[in-house]
Amino acid sequence: LTAPMTLSNGVTILGLGYGTYQTPNEETKKAVLEALSVGYRHIDTAAVYGNEQGVGAALKESDIAREDIFVTSKLWNTERGYDATKAAFAQTIATLGVDYLDLYLIHWPANTKQFEAKDAELNAETWRAMEDLYNEGKIRAIGVSNFMPHHLDALMKTAVIKPMADQIEVHPGWPQAEAVRYNQVHDILVEVWAPLGEASALSNETIATIATKHGKTAAQVCLRWGIQQGVLPLPKSTHQERMAQNTDIFDFELTDSEMTQISALENLGGQCMVPDDVDF
């Protein structure tokens, strides 16, 4: 299905994953089973999505071995801090019904719009708990989500283990080139949420023209644009034919000029959530 990528600690991660944000728990088991059946082996969830139970039910019901599926979850904002992180992790693996996670991420750098000194302190304590869980072998890799370079700079002041991944919003119209570059320079894998701009990029004319040229769909072009930048897209769909379509992106290549045209697109009206501007 996908070319494997390697995290800075040597752990292999599949270069495309199935996202589950906003999939209601009741629908998640069926959606994840369908995703597994079309070949996904990398599932991304989070405690705040409320669907870890559905993901776990699908893992259990599929006849695929646990070690053949890469499972990621995320620590919710209100659970930051050393003891709270350990408790939230225990809850997450219990809800998923697994004994370990492949990747665990701090979901956001702060609980509110502001990133203050107290958030940096709280993240440092949170990270210490993540490092301990990692050293105990309960998580194969640890990382962050929605961290911009200044959030990572703050974390690195006390981190003993460097984050292995940063999951951020990237899509045509919202390339976040500086954050992508910063992560890549620091050997932090960029995972991407909303790689289709929550469908906002799919009706863009430039993308449609490029798609026609390659005999591909707009969604496939958006995902390919990510792959060719070395990021790991996590598209979501609850339709099986689209899930399958979103995996069929490894048999064509965008030209440099097509890559540049897509990277230059103005905001297409996707979510474009600036982490400093998040209102929870």
Amino acid 95 reads: T
Q: Site mask, ligand A2P, residues 7-46, x = CB under 6 A?
A: ------------x---------------------------
User: Catalytic: 104?
Assistant: no
- 145 counts as binding ligand A2P under rule CB under 6 A: no
Q: Are 156 and 201 contacting, i.e. CB atoms less than 8 angstroms apart?
A: no
Of 18, 40, 49, 182, catalytic:
49
- State which of positions 244-263 bind ligand A2P (CB under 6 A): 245-246
Q: Are 107 and 166 contacting, i.e. CB atoms less than 8 angstroms apart?
A: no
Q: How far, in Å, are 48, 106, 128, 232 from residue 81 at the CA level?
A: 17, 11, 9, 28
Looking at 71-79, 154-162, 229-237, 259-267, which segment touches ligand A2P (CB under 6 A)? Answer: 229-237
Q: How far, in Å, are 41, 99, 106 from residue 138 at the CA level?
A: 19, 7, 16
Q: Which of 50, 186, 242, 248 binds ligand A2P (CB under 6 A)?
A: 242
Q: 190: part of which helix (H) or strand (E)?
A: strand 189-193
- 207 counts as binding ligand A2P under rule CB under 6 A: no
Angle at 35 between CA 163 and CA 242, to 5 degrees: 105
Q: Are 80 and 48 contacting, i.e. CB atoms less than 8 angstroms apart?
A: no
Q: In this complex, which beta carbon is closest to ligand A2P, that of residue 70 or of residue 134?
A: 70
Q: In this complex, which beta carbon is closest to ligand A2P, that of residue 163 or of residue 226?
A: 226
Looking at 46-54, 65-73, 189-197, 261-269, which segment touches ligand A2P (CB under 6 A)? Answer: 189-197
Catalytic residue list: 49
Q: Which residues bind ligand A2P (CB under 6 A)?
A: 19, 194-199, 202, 217, 219, 235-239, 242, 245-246
